[in-house]
Chain A
Amino acid sequence: MRVSILYFAGLRASAGTEREQIDTACADLATLYEELRARHGWSFAPSALRVAVNGALVSWSHALQESDEIAFLPPFSGG
């Protein structure tokens, strides 16, 4: 399955890109996160993050689909 990953803030800094397309066999967001976490050396546990698919916040149980645009969002610091 081919999906796009968007990177923001500190995760963008460590990934070295703001967007990429990847082919993945991962069936769910948690597995995909762990795959990216290992590749980029992220320290955040999944419980510290929010996740968005196609521009909307979703739960970690949200099912992945071909061409989804996925963003793992590190802890917010607005205000």
Chain B
Amino acid sequence: MFELSEQPLDPDALRLRIDDPRCGAVVAFEGRVRDQNHGRPVDCIIYEAFAAVALAEGGAIVAEMQAAHQLSEVLVVHRVGKVELGDLAVWVGVSAPHRDAAFAGCAATISTIKARVPIWKHEHYRDGGPEWLHPLP
């Protein structure tokens, strides 16, 4: 499942949603807002999504990852709106019978989400005006 949230994320609550008694491995990735980027001091990030496309594409990626890595559960929740330093911007959790699949599946899921889901950072700095981040491949 892929979701967008305007509210802060609670990793403990999210982890409960991927519990599966058949699974011996749970791997979660917590993406957090760090205090600098390219040498500039970051104050906060405001995330914007094209919600309709993000939800459809994110849901498709979750299904692809489940099939490709034999994962039991895959849950991705991405923040939109203002995210403060140190707070979670994205949480990716997967469960699988064994750890190799869980590690590989979690890593592939966050990489694919970053590449294909229309979400953008409006990064705010402590030393000047904000900027939209549009990294070229």
Contact = CB atoms under 8 A, between A and B. Distances in A.
Interface stretch (B11-19, B62-70, B98-106, B129-137): B129-137
A76 B120 contact: yes
Interface residues on B, range: 20 to 34
Interface in A25-42: none
Contacts of B121: 77-78
B31 interface: yes
Given A56-B53, A56-B56, A78-B78, A8 B118 contact: yes
B90 interface: yes
B126 interface: no
A79 B135 contact: no
A13 B110 CA distance: 27
B113 A78 contact: yes
Contact of A78 (B56, B119, B132, B136): B119
B120 A78 contact: yes
A75 B137 contact: yes
Contacts, number: 73
B89 interface: yes
A13 B114 contact: no
B132 A76 contact: no
A9 B120 contact: yes
Given A8-B48, A8-B50, A76 B56 contact: no
Interface of B: 31, 47-50, 52-53, 56-57, 78, 89-90, 110, 113-122, 132-137
25 contacts: A8-B48, A8-B50, A8-B118, A8-B120, A10-B120, A10-B134, A13-B132, A48-B137, A50-B118, A52-B53, A57-B53, A71-B50, A74-B120, A76-B115, A76-B119, A77-B119, A77-B120, A77-B132, A78-B78, A78-B113, A78-B117, A79-B89, A79-B90, A79-B114, A79-B119
